[in-house]
Structure 1
Amino acid sequence: MTKRLLASTTGVALLLAAGPSALADNHADDFDAVADIAERVERIESLDSGENGLNAVIVYSKTAGFKAREQADVGILRGRSVLVKDNIETEEFATTAGSLALANNFTRRDAPLIANLRRNGGVVLGKANLSEWANIRSNGSTSGWSAVGGLVRNPHATDRNACGSSSGSGAAVAAGMAWGAIGTETNGSISCPASINGIVGFKPSVGLVSRTHVVPISSTQDTAGPMTQTVHDAALLLTAIAGEDSADTATVGVPRIADYTDGLTTFSLEGVRIGVMRKQIGDRSDLRSVFDTALADLERAGAILVDIDSDPNDEMWRDSFTVLMFELREEMGKYLSSIPEIEGQDTPRSLADLIAFNNANAEAEMRWFDQDLFEQAESTTDREVYEKARENAVRIAGEETLDKLMSENDVQFLVAPTRGPAWVSDHVNGDNFDGSIGFGSPAAIAGYPHLTVPMGDIEGLPVGISFFGAKWEDHAVLKLGAAYERARTAMLPTPSFKPWSPAE
């Protein structure tokens, strides 16, 4: 696989050992967008390729420095660099979803969220690698692998997984390759890579951010969201990309605020009641210890913690899966049909076309795992069954799980570990993660906000803490996360850019 690198060296010294914390202070009034983006480019050139290269970036721009100069005084971002997951359309790059079937998908369109980003002063630095088709092709996949970009490596341990599907976005931000990145989530695809790569990830309420010109899975659950080093930066990036889009009816008439960074520095945890999802901590004593420290930090800052012993109804997962399979076929067909005609290019126009392409290119596309989920989605066609499943899944996840737990326990928020530490990447056996850890599925299925913030590490491998709130309470959840960030006592690991080894 040859990476499509379009950037040139800028001459700014790269501080490999110092890590991303050595980059420019992005909150300073004298932030230098041109110098900052030059250093980001050098980090990509030095860290993304080679034997232990991260494979986090598929393509990046050789004119990013000029764009930063143009945008330096524009909007709230003022030339800050953003990598975009490669299932989101930008006018200058192909949008591949990691698949060779879309390797030449130059639509020359900006997704509305990207238009918002540019309007607010953001610079599209390039496209981030991802789990191919956002990890919906096969049950046996290895997260972070795509035929276009190869396998994303975790900067904290290059032999370990970066999680999916926004793996490149998470790894790149952790490595300091961009100020921020945009990921997408259907169920866990922002929160898991953010947690495992040691950064902040925010999955907003579905409808806060447009999905138009984003390669889809589910109209019910899909959303884009920010991935950054801090909660403040996530709130800033969310402010830049959120907005109404008449082509995406889920975004019309939803409650938004003008500035999601407002009040982040002053929000107090004093008297805030938070429900602790005890059954979702899992059985790892090391993770429990890190989480207990985070809970103690919250209590020390004045929060009132309420233990909750509850498991979601299994019907939620069963019916959500039916929804994903039905909507994948329908929404993928709509997206592929919307791609502009390009002379001499045989563009797939349906999920059936993608299945046929993978069969015809099995050596490149299906060496390590198949397309059983694509095939199941193609045969999931009963609309009546789908509509009943959707109503049931959304109701159970939202009204009967998240809303009920917060109401019955008189809490404003819920908290749980996000995931365990990164596992060893294994093409032959696929992913290996502990499904007993975390509580992200109800928020994903119901379309509620989910914020993950670094809370420490296990043997140098980052782990995150998740905060959940009610639908449209995105601002409140971000304020809670920022307050935890200030109260956090744990030391956070810095990327080693090497295979994992025991600490001495």
Structure 2
Amino acid sequence: MRRILLAFLLAGAVVPNIAAAKTVRVEEASIDQLQAMMARGEASSVELTRAYLARIAAMDRKGPALRSVIAVNPDALDQAKALDAERKAGRIRGPLHGIPVLIKDNIETADRMATTAGSLALKDNVTGRDAPVVAELRRAGAVILGKTNLSEWANIRSTHAMSGWSAVGGLVKNPYALDRTACGSSSGSGAAVAASFAAVAVGTETDGSVTCPSSINGLVGLKPSIGLVSRTRVVPISHSQDTPGPMGRSVRDVALLLSAMVAPDPADPATAGAVRRDYASGLSVSALSGLRIGVIRPKDLPADTAARYDAALAVLRAGGAVLVDVTPPKLDGLGDAEFLVLQMELKADLNAYLATTPAAVTARTLDQLIAFNRDHAAVEMPFFGQEIFEMAAKTGGLDDAAYKAARAKSLRLAGQEGIDAMLKAAGATVLVEPTYAGAWLSDPVYGDQYNGPSAAELPAIAGYPHLTVPMGLAKGLPVGLSFIAGKGGEATVLGAGYAYEQRAKARVVPTYRAQADVGPGLEGVR
């Protein structure tokens, strides 16, 4: 039954005929390089799109079989053709004109593709409408290349989930070591960009879902301030913490993508103050000079990651940054408060979203989703259950005093008493720390086995910007350096991250090894 369902769902992922495509090299190409190719007449948007489609066809279900793309857009070539015609007529919309972009499959697009959030319950969720963030990308000239796989329901279904797995898309593999996690929930966006299936992709984050897969797949990823990018028509978890975010192989590419994503949205009141700006134009290698940075030194950092962190701090210091050690405060009860908020907002926000889906979607409430999963347990719950769904279904509404208290507590602890307090204590503009340690083994029995610290929690809860930039490999696995600032500090973290990136040049191209570089004599050891 599962094979039949997957075959049906993936029928939309059949790549258009590319046999006659001119050979265009897109591996590791930046947005600027792709634009230069089009400007010189060396490649058209159609040829770039065909090249990416050919790479997906060769590597996503064949070869390393990354399973990072749920569906390619059957209209991508037509979109590229129209944008080529605009270029020929002298109209170039901006840096993204004709650039193929991948979209996480919990974000609606008006193309002939379902928005599934990885669940078979949404296999018929073909809405024919763009999320505002996708509409902004179209306005900027992007080609919507396809939808990326993800941790089902953005990793909010179970406490024992295996990141990167969904019933629709299967398990995403890490391009640096195929037996390792690609993290989540934007696992497909992370693996796809690392493998050069597109120059950039859009992910979403509630707590770590852009920054973890970016760090673990050797990418740059930005979780923006809440209210900078619209969340309308994005399958929700939490209106307090959800946000789309850009993912790419360089800070400049991420800045270019972010610049095209920002806009106020009347349907999302949090974005009332969002202002379009060019985040790429101000990037400078001198941004570290005189910048005061608060340094967080986690106690449980694996030795190999700690060595990469020490090297990264040396780069920051050499660039002129003033480094000041800060001690993270004790924030008792933060995790419990956040978890209660996520449960209660999940119930309210997901019910509101499902009510807007097409009539063909029969699971239209959280309770009905729970029933659907039970009825289709063999394909929906072969590895882990739905404990969080069931807990959320039992919570009260958003007028519940417990919800309001938990939200106020989590916001105070993460912001005022957390990030704000550390920045003030150090007299700093930016905080840095390792984003995560290296990727753990994908484990269908026990689920995710996080090893070491996470930099994601505080900025996710506070709604502040969080940028991760590659700081090299530890035992063959990518690790990232986090830059965190106060709300609205996107330009600050992008500037610091760019200056670090240009000096460190720490990103390493993936080689699709069967397993990580564990050292002499340990090959085959798990």
TM-score (norm 1): 0.94
User: Does the CA-based 8 Å contact 2:224-2:466 persist in structure 1?
Assistant: yes
**Equivalent position of 1:286 in the other structure:** 304
Residue 143 of structure 1, CA deviation: 0.3
**Equivalent position of 1:361 in the other structure:** 376
Partners of 1:489 and 1:85 in 2: CA distance? 27
Residues 1:258 and 2:277 are matched in the alignment: yes
Partners of 2:21 and 2:474 in 1: CA distance? 34
Aligned residue runs from structure 1 range 118-137, under 5 A: 118-137=138-157
User: Does the CA-based 8 Å contact 1:7-1:63 persist in structure 2?
Assistant: no
| Gap runs ≥5 in structure 2 | 1-5, 521-526
Amino acid at match of 1:158: L
Residues 1:44 and 2:59 are matched in the alignment: no
**Equivalent position of 2:230 in the other structure:** 210
Aligned residue runs from structure 1 range 18-417, under 5 A: 19-21=27-29, 25-26=33-34, 28=36, 29-30=39-40, 32-50=44-62, 52-72=64-84, 73=87, 74-76=92-94, 77-92=96-111, 93-254=113-274, 256-265=275-284, 267-279=286-298, 282-341=300-359, 345-381=360-396, 383-417=400-434
Residue 347 of structure 1, CA deviation: 2.2
RMSD: 1.9
Where 2:158 maps in the other structure, the secondary structure is coil
Q: Which moved more, 1:265-274 or 1:466-475?
A: 265-274
Where 1:332 maps in the other structure, the secondary structure is helix
Give per-residue Cα distances to partners, 1:286-312, cap 9 Å, x unaligned: 101011111101111101111112244
Flag the 1:395–1:107 CA change in 2: closer, same or farther, 3 A. same
Where 1:307 maps in the other structure, the secondary structure is strand
Question: Which of 442, 449, 456 matches 1:432?
Answer: 449
Question: Which of 458, 461, 478 matches 2:477?
Answer: 461
Residue 400 of structure 1, CA deviation: 1.2
Give per-residue Cα distances to partners, 1:132-183, cap 9 Å, x unaligned: 0000000011000000000000111111110010000000000000121000
User: Does the CA-based 8 Å contact 1:59-1:126 persist in structure 2?
Assistant: yes
Amino acid at match of 2:331: N
**Equivalent position of 2:486 in the other structure:** 470
Flag the 1:79–1:346 CA change in 2: closer, same or farther, 3 A. closer
Residue 36 of structure 1, CA deviation: 2.2
User: Does the CA-based 8 Å contact 1:454-1:465 persist in structure 2?
Assistant: yes
**Equivalent position of 2:523 in the other structure:** none
TM-score (norm 2): 0.91
Residue 367 of structure 1, CA deviation: 1.2
Flag the 1:88–1:305 CA change in 2: closer, same or farther, 3 A. same
Where 2:333 maps in the other structure, the secondary structure is helix
Where 1:464 maps in the other structure, the secondary structure is strand
Partners of 1:61 and 1:229 in 2: CA distance? 22
Partners of 1:13 and 1:170 in 2: CA distance? 27
User: Does the CA-based 8 Å contact 2:293-2:426 persist in structure 1?
Assistant: no
Amino acid at match of 2:272: V
Partners of 1:170 and 1:197 in 2: CA distance? 6
Q: Which moved more, 1:62-71 or 1:214-223?
A: 62-71
Amino acid at match of 1:274: I
Amino acid at match of 2:389: F
**Equivalent position of 2:498 in the other structure:** 482
Where 2:71 maps in the other structure, the secondary structure is strand
* Number of residue pairs the alignment of both structures matches: 496
Flag the 1:192–1:13 CA change in 2: closer, same or farther, 3 A. farther
Partners of 1:115 and 1:23 in 2: CA distance? 19
Residues 1:494 and 2:509 are matched in the alignment: yes
| Gap runs ≥5 in structure 1 | none
Give per-residue Cα distances to partners, 1:343-367, cap 9 Å, x unaligned: xx25222100100100111111111
Amino acid at match of 2:325: D
Give per-residue Cα distances to partners, 1:40-60, cap 9 Å, x unaligned: 111100000037300000000
Between the aligned residues of both structures, percent identity stands at: 46
Flag the 1:417–1:252 CA change in 2: closer, same or farther, 3 A. same
Where 1:495 maps in the other structure, the secondary structure is coil
User: Does the CA-based 8 Å contact 2:207-2:461 persist in structure 1?
Assistant: yes
Where 2:110 maps in the other structure, the secondary structure is coil
Residue 339 of structure 1, CA deviation: 1.3
